[in-house]
Amino acid sequence: MCGVLLLLLLIVCIGWWPMMIRCHEGKVLELDESNFDSAISSFDFIFVDFYAPWCAHCNRLSPELDKAAPILSGLKTPVVIAKIDADKYSRIASKYKIDGFPTLKVFMHGVPTDYNGPRKSDKLVRYLRKFVAPDVTVVESDSGITEFVEAAGTFFPIFIGFGLDESAISNLAIKYKKNAWFSVAKDFSENMMALYDFDKAPALLALHPNFNEQSIFYGPFEDNFLEEFIQQSLLPLTLPMTGDNLKRLKDDKRKIVLTIVEDETDYESKGLIKLLRAAASANRDLVFAYVGYNQWKDFAEAFEVGSKTPLPKMVVWDGNEVFFSVIDSESIDKEDQGSQITLFLERYREGKVIEKALGASSVGYLSSLVGMRTVYILVFLVAVMFLIATVGKEESSDASTSVADNRETARLHADKED
């Protein structure tokens, strides 16, 4: 009798979580401290939204996750969408070093990796499909290559090994899976070679469909040379600075040649960007990026750019808190800009620079570096200090009560702010 009871208890314990999941199939799972670890260990792929109820960005993301969840759960290898109130369940938030909302992570076989991709449901679905795709997709015809490129989409770079064995890139494909698509083509025609502009095989093609860029690598195909090419090809030759691209730069250790223009959409700026692309092709040890003052004023101002600064302006940024002005080559005139870019790079490599600290005075730029929760805390502390100083001028008999009331008001206000 005891054995039967133990068996029933074991069945209930083992079967409870999968049954609960089936009840939620196609919907976003709401996790808490009691079931978080079980969920992570129960699924091969689970996308988790660490949110706070008062966060406006989180509230905008929520319906996008609701739309994506049934599509992702229906994949051949399903991806489960889940969320947890990380503001309430602080132990979980602390364990995974959550310092801003929303923070998104993909757990692959229990191992977390940061998600910095798009948040609209259709793009999120396409992005997450990559996590459950094969590390290297093997195609055997021109049509197979075309289908692979179309299915991969435009957000990630695409690497195709023509005439390469799968084993040649498998280890690197696993290493960089979250950053790119990988494939090898076993059979292909001369038409395909002409389309992608290479004339012999084996060759490794890198595509950036979003930027209409491609580059080709003919070897040597030892791991160290292959990895160098892949690392340098994860970003386009010229990268527009956006919030998402700023996150992508975190994984790249190269210095960034940053060009600040008045407006990145105007005709003159587009001509300059073409020249920067040519310079980037010849200087792959550097990342070339650009930003329009009109497009991201807060970011540009961090590099000592104001409304009266002569633009375009070039600096070299270390990706953190330091940037370098190149002596006598800061501003780019309209005439012969290609030669000026070359001179800028020569002087930088010769060490003719002035090191400067990044000026992150604006909250918009500060938030992109340190996370929104830190910003909220800083704003809250400043507000409290201001209130204390103001109340201190009043009669001492009323000061204590007034400070307490105002602190609570400031706290409630900060909780509602995003």
Decide if 172 contacts 227 (C-beta within 8 A).
yes
Number of helices (H), then strands (E), in the chain: 16, 16
Burial of 62 (0-12, 13-18, 19+ CB in 10 A): middle
Mapping DSSP to helix (H, G, I), strand (E, B) and coil, where does residue 330 land? coil
Mapping DSSP to helix (H, G, I), strand (E, B) and coil, where does residue 353 land? strand
307 to 17, 246, 262, 304, 399: CA distances (angstroms)? 59, 23, 9, 10, 44
| 58 given a catalytic annotation | yes
DSSP character for 108? E
Q: Which of 2, 13, 23, 55 is catalytic?
A: 55
Which ranges of 28-159 would DSSP assign to H, the alpha helix?
36-42, 56-73, 90-95, 121-132, 142-152
d(CA 356, CA 353): 9
Q: Which of 2, 13, 23, 58 is catalytic?
A: 58
With left for phi above 0 and alpha for psi between -120 and 50, is residue 244 left, alpha or beta?
alpha
| 23 given a catalytic annotation | no
The string over 16-51, giving b where at least 16 C-beta atoms fall within 10 Å of a residue's C-beta and e elsewhere, is eeeeebeeeeeebbebeeebbeebbeebebbbbbbb
Active site residues: 55, 58
